[in-house]
Amino acid sequence: MADILVRGLDDAVLKRLKERAKGAGRSLQSETRIILEQAAGRTIDESLKVAANWRKKLGKRSSDSAQAQREDRER
């Protein structure tokens, strides 16, 4: 893993980051890492893997709301 150094960060920004980290129960380093990961987003391949994992977890659940309504009426 790589390291990064941010120079010239405004004191007020650092204070807000520390408060945010404390509120989340994390270290400043951990909170900053999470923020950077979220800002960088996911690649298409990563997104496809996440979607595939969700499809696997959800199984063969029906997404047809009309079918679900028909089934509810029959009960």
* Cα distance between the two ends of the chain: 56
Output the pTM of the full model: 0.59
Sign of CA dihedral 56, 60, 64, 70: negative
Q: Place 61 in a pLDDT band, splitting at 50, 70 and 90.
A: low
Residue whose C-alpha is closest to residue 28's, from 49, 42, 14 = 14
Task: State the average pLDDT over residues 54-63.
Answer: 78
Q: Place 75 in a pLDDT band, splitting at 50, 70 and 90.
A: confident
Q: What is the pLDDT of residue 8?
A: 97
Residues 6+ apart with CB under 8 A from 12: none
Torsions phi, psi for 56 (to 5 deg): -65, -45
Task: Locate 26 and state its tokens.
Answer: 């994390």
On the question of pLDDT at 28 being above 90, the answer is yes
pLDDT digits (tens, 9 = 90+) for 3-20: 999 999 999 999 999 999
